[in-house]
Amino acid sequence: MTSPSTSPARAGTGAELSLQQQRVRSAFWFLAPMMVALIAAAAWPLFRTIYFSLTNTTLSSLYEGEWIGLGNYLNWRTLSSGKTIYRGTLVDPAWWNAVWNTVRFSFVSVLLETVLGLLVALVLNAEFRGRALVRAAILIPWAIPTIVSAKMWAWMLNDQFGIINDLFLNLGIISEKIAWTASDATSMYAVLMVDVWKTTPFMALLCLAGLQMIPRDIYEAARIDGVHPVKVFFRITLPLIRPALMVAVIFRALDALRIFDLIYVLTPNSSATKTMSVISRENLIDFDKFAYGSAQSTLLFAIIALFVAAYIWLGKVNLTGENR
């Protein structure tokens, strides 16, 4: 790769490009490979997914799909008896169950992770012996692959031989063994437990970074004025780390809304935990309803896009870090 910006300047006939123009021109060439990669891996596949959602394509014959408009989303037929039958994702109870599961999971997990992450960050922000050790320890859940943590917890949550049931029985928290991952009543708790365990460290580290940017003398001043520590937290700490917290929350929320792997491995086939990603992939690949699954994943994309737009707009989040 050589710099393309040198050639026009070398011609020397009359108007040489200004330095700024040269730089902009080379910037274009520097950006081009990345743009091509992102268009090929993200923009084009997204466009094709949306296109597939408007056809009746199947997995076995990818190129023989016909345009059927919005039929995968909603279509209806009036029977001779005058009764109208509605079909499509938008009237599919399984889809709405998945939407509800995803929303519930995202809301609860992000809320718990934010509160716990903030608490852990406050602990780590205090000076004590062995702090480096604790910080290293909380990185472990984050470093473990999601699939591995799902398997580890599946074993710990095993109804017969799991250590969680053993521990809870001994502590008197439960009176009989619970089939955490298998029963519909508890599978969501199991998923939440593992997700909170795995991602609270990420939240804690982002919060900690925010906390460490608060100048110490503010706390000093508050202490001299005799302000109660709880009031200090709500009046000083929280407003000051709000920008960091807002960004951390949206990253977590987006991860939660698209969750797939943990649920696929920890609670397979449980309709109580099936999320939008899980049900879309099931239709796309396993059930040979390629176009129907495309419609569902398009809807998930739309929901997430709307959510992000609303969050940034309402929360006035500055994500680029420019014009500080």
In angstroms, the CA 276 to CA 294 distance is 12
Q: Could you say which of 142, 168, 189, 219 contacts another protein (CB under 8 A)?
A: 142
**11 counts as binding another protein under rule CB under 8 A:** no
Reference 275, options 255, 305, 250, 292; nearest CA is 255
Residue 33: count other Cβ atoms within 10 Å of its Cβ: 10
Q: If you write DSSP's letter for every residue of 36-47 in order, what string do you get?
A: HHHIIIIIHHHH
Tell the residue number behind the tokens 């696929």, with chain if given: 264
- Give 45 or 69: the residue with its C-beta nearer to another protein: 45
Check: CB of residue 265 under 8 Å from CB of residue 147: yes
- Give 6 or 271: the residue with its C-beta nearer to another protein: 6
Reference 264, options 184, 185, 182, 147; nearest CA is 147
Tell the residue number behind the tokens 């949306």, with chain if given: 50
Task: Output DSSP code: residue 181.
Answer: T
| Contacts of another protein in 252-291 (CB under 8 A) | 254, 257-258, 260-261, 264-265, 276-277, 280-281, 284-285, 290
Q: How far is the CB of 160 from another protein (least distance, A)?
A: 7
Tell the residue number behind the tokens 């702090």, with chain if given: 131
Q: Could you say which of 11, 62, 70, 173 contacts another protein (CB under 8 A)?
A: 62
**115 counts as binding another protein under rule CB under 8 A:** no
Q: Could you say which of 202, 267, 270, 273 contacts another protein (CB under 8 A)?
A: 202
**197 counts as binding another protein under rule CB under 8 A:** yes
From the list 79-87, 177-185, 215-223, 247-255, the region that binds another protein by CB under 8 A is 247-255
Structure tokens at 33: 């490979």
From the list 84-92, 107-115, 171-179, 294-302, the region that binds another protein by CB under 8 A is 294-302
- Give 111 or 163: the residue with its C-beta nearer to another protein: 163
Structure tokens at 303: 């929901």
From the list 73-81, 120-128, 220-228, 230-238, the region that binds another protein by CB under 8 A is 120-128
From the list 17-25, 76-84, 181-189, 215-223, the region that binds another protein by CB under 8 A is 17-25
**297 counts as binding another protein under rule CB under 8 A:** yes
**130 counts as binding another protein under rule CB under 8 A:** yes
CB-based contacts of 178, cutoff 8 Å, min separation 6: 159, 165, 168, 186
In angstroms, the CA 79 to CA 70 distance is 20
| Contacts of another protein in 73-92 (CB under 8 A) | none
Check: CB of residue 293 under 8 Å from CB of residue 284: yes
- Give 3 or 271: the residue with its C-beta nearer to another protein: 3
Phi, psi of 260 (to 5 degrees): -135, -60
Q: Find the length of the chain.
A: 324
Q: How far is the CB of 190 from another protein (least distance, A)?
A: 13
Q: How far is the CB of 82 from another protein (least distance, A)?
A: 37
Q: How far is the CB of 77 from another protein (least distance, A)?
A: 26
